[in-house]
Amino acid sequence: MSITCRPALTEQQARHFRDLGYLRLPDPGLPRGLLAAVAEVIRTRAARLPAGQTKVYRLYQHDRALLHRLVAHPALTAPLTALLGPNVVYVLNRHNQGSLNAPGAQEVRLHRDILQPTRGLLTAVVYFEDAGVETGCTWIVPGSHRAPYVGVPQPGGGGTWMDEHPELADLVDQALPVPVPVGGVLLFDACVFHTVGPNTGVRTRTGAVLGYRSADELDANPDPTRQIVVAGTQLYRGNDGPGSGEFGGV
């Protein structure tokens, strides 16, 4: 079976992501059958959650074969390599979750996914249903990945909440909704402030929240339990080994 997907990003799309911190891909070419299968995994697991919980954590581990087809699909890895470079890993210890935004959900709070760009993280949200303003699409504060890195991290790990920091108060009302149709993908820098919108409609909004980053070429011992190579390879480029050469000097 042949795989069809869109070409890698244009220069204008890559610039949009770097300048504004996000990029919407309405139809990157993910197979609908694959999307339906992953959506079913999320809905099945979500039905077993305690009342009030809507996130299926450790999504990849629920069905590794199926989820690997999604997270490593060329329709995702082609734009990712255009933004992150040729060697990309899928992160298992951040995001890696399914999300079911049910009617009436009101979890709205602007935040970053990471506190600072220590390694960098790119968030990819894959939508299995239309994500419009009514069903609670993601809201983004464009360009906020360049705002100061302030505050303490969220409890249990994570980024930072915008409403806890007065120095960011003038950005709260700058958030814009980013609707994405079924089968589409929203990519954003994990340092961009964003939030899920309220679901005021009558339908759910199901998606998968995935985390990617460039393979760390200075990590001599990458942890395979926390990352999976999905494009290129895991290279070590440190110059601390025998025979390693320096790249220039100062």
Whether residue 5 has pLDDT greater than 50: no
With a CB cutoff of 8 Å and minimum separation 6, the contacts of 21 are 140, 142, 143, 144, 145, 146, 188, 189, 191, 192
pLDDT tens readout for residues 149-183: 876 666 766 678 888 888 888 898 999 999 999 99
| DSSP 8-state assignment for residue 119 | S
Domains of the chain, start order: 11-231 (2.60.120.620)
- Mean pLDDT on 105-127: 88
pLDDT tens readout for residues 28-56: 999 999 999 999 999 999 989 887 678 99
Q: Tell me, what's the pLDDT at 242?
A: 61
Q: Tell me which H or E stretch contains 83.
A: helix 74-84
What φ, ψ does residue 135 adopt, rounded to 5°? Answer: -95, 5
Q: Tell me, what's the pLDDT at 244?
A: 56
Q: Tell me which H or E stretch contains 31.
A: none
Residue 119's pLDDT band (cuts 50, 70, 90): confident
What φ, ψ does residue 230 adopt, rounded to 5°? Answer: -120, -10
In Å, how far from its chain's centre is CA 184?
Answer: 13
Q: Does pTM surpass 0.85?
A: yes
Q: What is Dmax (Cα atoms) for the chain?
A: 64
pLDDT tens readout for residues 196-241: 988 888 888 899 999 999 999 989 999 999 999 999 999 888 888 6
pLDDT tens readout for residues 95-109: 999 998 888 877 789
Residue 63's pLDDT band (cuts 50, 70, 90): very high
Considering the chain, what percentage of its residues have pLDDT values greater than 70?
89
- Mean pLDDT on 181-194: 96
Q: Tell me, what's the pLDDT at 2?
A: 42
At residue 65, the 3 state secondary structure works out as helix
Mean pLDDT of the chain: 89
Tokens of 228: 């999976």
